[in-house]
């Protein structure tokens, strides 16, 4: 049986279409993917992200040895993007690691949470998985930070990117607010007590937030070229291949996957993540092959129709032989038909920072 977040009854009562995502019953859409996408790009949307893992870790040396970024350089009250890699340098999960005054908070993908927790917990037995006690929402969009600040009665506009700060929810529950998200827009994620879930969600929706599902979340993150585990990164891909070398700190000392990643960095990667647009009336999807003449040069990791660009877009791994020659004529095969693709730099969408 799939698990339910504390927002499940609200989604069901609102008539959202629900699917099993990584073992969780989650809303795919409320009003419609394009509508919700538009609200997040121009206004404010709220997402249930209660399926994501929240893991409290007390021994920071354990995390330092398990992740690629450098925790020693992370100031209190800030978060960093990082990877947990296996001995081959391949990705076990991508994470956000926050430094709180007395502990670290690790945010993991739903599909990997148990695996990540088990790896941490054998090394730090005090570490705790917070499912069933703490949940989370993401408030995203150009109006989101102002609106949620008003609803919670505390100004969150001073928070820097990936800064996390304690906040009270309706005077009753302690929570954490972080300036972060997964949409390419400004926003706040709130990590908070399960018991406040319905009250916070309803206040956000009545306060001007459009409830959004995983469908629009996926389109938003593809436009912003944010990776998704199982697509751009997985157990056969390294952060270097995905283009995230800047989150690997070789100089910090030993960590899981360091040797393999260091070797790969010296030798060079054999595939590269690129963006492309498609000329034609078809939507690229994971697994579609990209070719140049008779040679298959790559495979799509994610694709969608971009409501912002009004055309089909995607990300793909292409072989290094093909990379750097992005002007070459390339084609994608969809439903036994062939469409021209042109490679473009990522991201497809970047918000204008005021």
Q: Is 282 in the site for other proteins (CB under 8 A)?
A: yes
Residue count, binding to other proteins (CB under 8 A): 16
Residues whose CB is less than 8 angstroms from the CB of residue 58 and which lie 6 or more positions away in sequence, other chains included: 102, 103, 104, 124, 126, 127
Give 348's Cβ-side CA count (13 Å radius): 31
Q: Is 16 in the site for other proteins (CB under 8 A)?
A: no
Q: Looking only at residues 84 through 143 of this chain, which bind other proteins when binding is defined by CB under 8 A?
A: none
Q: Which two tokens stand for residue 141?
A: 């969009």
Q: Is 270 in the site for other proteins (CB under 8 A)?
A: no
Q: Which two tokens stand for residue 18?
A: 């629900």
Nearest approach, Cβ of residue 285 and other proteins (Å)? 7
Residues whose CB is less than 8 angstroms from the CB of residue 216 and which lie 6 or more positions away in sequence, other chains included: 29, 33, 34, 36, 37, 40, 45
Scanning 52-60, 63-71, 213-221, 232-240 for contacts with other proteins by CB under 8 A, the matching segment is 213-221
> Out of 14, 22, 25, 28, which residue is the one contacting other proteins (CB under 8 A)?
28
> Out of 9, 12, 20, 32, which residue is the one contacting other proteins (CB under 8 A)?
32
Q: Is 219 in the site for other proteins (CB under 8 A)?
A: yes
> Out of 12, 17, 20, 76, which residue is the one contacting other proteins (CB under 8 A)?
17
Q: Is 281 in the site for other proteins (CB under 8 A)?
A: yes
First-last CA distance in the chain: 45
Nearest approach, Cβ of residue 216 and other proteins (Å)? 9
261-286 core/surface letters (b: 16 or more CB in 10 A; e: else): beebeeeebebbbbbbbbeeebebeb
Q: Which two tokens stand for residue 200?
A: 């916070």
Q: Which two tokens stand for residue 72?
A: 């020693």
Q: Looking only at residues 321 through 340 of this chain, which bind other proteins when binding is defined by CB under 8 A?
A: 335
Scanning 25-33, 159-167, 189-197, 256-264 for contacts with other proteins by CB under 8 A, the matching segment is 25-33
Nearest approach, Cβ of residue 13 and other proteins (Å)? 17
What value, to the nearest 5°, has the Cα angle with vertex 322 and ends 320 and 323? Answer: 60
Q: Is 278 in the site for other proteins (CB under 8 A)?
A: no
Distances 314 to 39, 119, 154, 237, 321 between C-alpha atoms, Å: 22, 33, 39, 18, 20
Note whether 60 and 104 are within 8 A (CB): yes
Q: Is 305 in the site for other proteins (CB under 8 A)?
A: yes
Nearest approach, Cβ of residue 218 and other proteins (Å)? 8
Scanning 124-132, 212-220, 233-241, 341-349 for contacts with other proteins by CB under 8 A, the matching segment is 212-220
Q: Is 29 in the site for other proteins (CB under 8 A)?
A: yes
Q: Is 164 in the site for other proteins (CB under 8 A)?
A: no
Q: Is 22 in the site for other proteins (CB under 8 A)?
A: no
Nearest approach, Cβ of residue 57 and other proteins (Å)? 35
User: Based on CB atoms, which residue is closest to other proteins, 25 or 78?
Assistant: 25
How far apart (Å, rounded) are the C-alpha atoms in residues 326 and 272?
A: 12
3-state secondary structure 86-106: CCCCCEEEEEEEEECCCCEEE
Nearest approach, Cβ of residue 88 and other proteins (Å)? 32
Strand positions, DSSP E, 173-214: 173-178, 187-193, 210-212
Nearest approach, Cβ of residue 314 and other proteins (Å)? 13
Instruction: Write out the residues near other proteins by the rule CB under 8 A.
Output: 17, 28-29, 32-34, 215, 218-219, 281-283, 285, 304-305, 335
């Amino acid at each position: 049986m799939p698990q339910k977040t504390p927002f499940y009854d609200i989604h069901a009562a609102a008539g959202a279409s629900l699917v099993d995502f990584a073992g969780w019953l989650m809303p795919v859409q409320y009003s419609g993917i394009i509508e919700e996408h538009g609200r997040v790009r121009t206004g404010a949307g709220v997402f249930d992200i209660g399926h994501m893992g929240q893991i409290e870790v007390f021994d920071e040396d354990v995390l330092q040895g398990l992740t690629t970024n450098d925790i020693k350089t992370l100031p209190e009250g800030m978060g960093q993007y990082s990877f947990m890699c296996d001995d081959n340098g391949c990705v076990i999960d991508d994470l956000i690691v926050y430094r709180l005054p007395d502990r670290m908070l690790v945010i993991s993908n739903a599909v990997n949470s148990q695996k990540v927790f088990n790896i941490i917990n054998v090394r730090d037995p005090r570490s705790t998985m917070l499912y069933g006690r703490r949940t989370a929402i993401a408030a995203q969009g150009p109006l989101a930070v102002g609106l949620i600040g008003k609803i919670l009665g505390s100004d969150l506009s001073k928070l820097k990117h990936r800064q996390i700060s304690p906040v009270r929810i309706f005077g009753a529950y302690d929570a954490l607010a972080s300036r972060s998200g997964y949409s390419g827009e400004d926003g706040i994620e709130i990590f908070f007590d399960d018991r406040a879930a319905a009250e916070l969600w309803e206040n956000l929706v009545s306060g001007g937030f459009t409830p959004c599902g995983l469908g629009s979340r996926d389109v938003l993150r593809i436009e912003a070229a944010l990776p998704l585990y199982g697509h751009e990164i997985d157990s056969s891909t390294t952060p270097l291949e995905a283009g995230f070398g800047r989150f690997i700190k070789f100089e910090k000392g030993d960590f899981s996957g360091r040797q393999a990643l260091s070797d790969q960095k010296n030798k060079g990667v054999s595939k590269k993540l690129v963006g492309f647009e498609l000329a034609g009336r078809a939507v690229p999807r994971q697994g579609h092959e990209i070719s140049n003449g008779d040679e298959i040069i790559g495979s799509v990791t994610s694709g969608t129709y971009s409501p912002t660009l009004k055309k089909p877009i995607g990300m793909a791994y292409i072989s290094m032989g093909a990379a750097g020659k992005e002007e070459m004529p390339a084609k994608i095969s969809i439903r036994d038909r062939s469409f021209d693709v042109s490679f473009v730099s990522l991201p497809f969408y970047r918000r204008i920072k005021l």
